[in-house]
């Protein structure tokens, strides 16, 4: 059964953050809140933990995993960022945006898209996530906590936090509760792997993206 950590939403207890980071370095998988939805995550650099996340989500190895970075400069360690992409990303982050970028050699093969050699990367506008990233010193895998049903379909994102905790308490090692109900809206996805930025999915913050793309054009 997972260990439950309760944290203050705007001022998470530093000692508990350090305990969680230590567990992640040792291969723990967590259920945790982000600035979009509750996610299943782990230390990007721990192969066994990434494999466990894939098993929980029933994801094949050809499906890439998104991960969180602390800043734009941190992203540049894990991806190639063009000048144009940099200008747009600098305006948008931190926030509910996922950027598809050419992966660097720092990204484990188990995480990136094997065919396109790309990664989905986010910089969350969330105190808890940022504190975890700072203490861990590595990116954190972030895949939505919603599991497929018996038919392989994903149910609506609009589920109660208690349901997620009950469904995953025997599959993850840690559950983090910051007293805030999970969001139901996913991130907006921007593809920067081609010359022209492409919107793959309209989610949270979409209006801001639309306005900014119109401006830079």
CATH code, domain with 79: 3.90.870.10
DSSP 155: P
What is the per-residue pLDDT for 123?
98
| Residue 4 in this model has a pLDDT that exceeds 90 | yes
d(C-alpha 58, C-alpha 53), whole Å: 8
| Residue 182 in this model has a pLDDT that exceeds 80 | no
What is the per-residue pLDDT for 208?
83
d(C-alpha 191, C-alpha 193), whole Å: 6
| Residue 215 in this model has a pLDDT that exceeds 60 | no
| Residue 121 in this model has a pLDDT that exceeds 60 | yes
Burial 129-166 (b: 16+ CB within 10 A, else e): bbbbbebbebbbbbbbbbeeeeeeeeeebebebeebbe
| Residue 95 in this model has a pLDDT that exceeds 60 | yes
The domain of 156 spans 3-216
Lowest mean pLDDT among 50-59, 97-106, 153-162: 153-162
What is the per-residue pLDDT for 163?
84
Q: Does the pTM exceed 0.85?
A: yes
How many independent structural domains does the chain possess? 1
Distance of CA 56 to the CA centre of its chain: 15
What is the per-residue pLDDT for 96?
95
Phi and psi at residue 152, to the nearest 5°: 80, 10
d(C-alpha 130, C-alpha 36), whole Å: 14
| Residue 42 in this model has a pLDDT that exceeds 80 | yes
Length of the chain: 217
Label residue 111 exposed, middle or buried (CB < 10 Å: 0-12, 13-18, 19+): buried
| Residue 25 in this model has a pLDDT that exceeds 80 | yes
What is the per-residue pLDDT for 194?
87
The arithmetic mean of pLDDT across residues 23-28, rounded, is 98
């Amino acid at each position: 059964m997972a260990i439950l950590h309760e944290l203050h939403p705007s001022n998470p207890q530093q000692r508990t953050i350090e305990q969680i980071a230590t567990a992640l370095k040792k291969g723990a998988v967590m259920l945790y809140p982000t600035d979009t939805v509750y996610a299943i995550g782990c230390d990007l650099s721990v192969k066994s933990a990434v494999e466990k996340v894939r098993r929980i989500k029933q994801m094949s190895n050809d499906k890439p995993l998104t991960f969180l970075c602390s800043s734009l400069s941190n992203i540049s360690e894990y991806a190639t960022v063009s000048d144009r992409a940099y200008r747009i990303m600098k305006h948008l982050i931190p926030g509910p945006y996922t950027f598809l970028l050419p992966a660097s050699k720092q990204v484990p093969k188990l995480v990136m898209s094997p065919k396109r050699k790309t990664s989905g990367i986010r910089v969350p506008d969330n105190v808890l996530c940022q504190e975890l990233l700072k203490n861990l010193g590595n990116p954190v895998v972030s895949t939505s906590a919603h599991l497929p049903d018996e038919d392989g379909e994903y149910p609506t994102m609009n589920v109660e936090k208690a349901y997620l905790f009950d469904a995953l308490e025997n599959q993850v090692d840690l559950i983090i509760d910051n007293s805030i109900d999970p969001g139901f809206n996913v991130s907006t996805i921007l593809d920067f792997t081609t010359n022209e930025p492409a919107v793959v999915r309209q989610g949270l913050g979409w209006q801001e993206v639309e306005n900014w793309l119109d401006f830079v054009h």
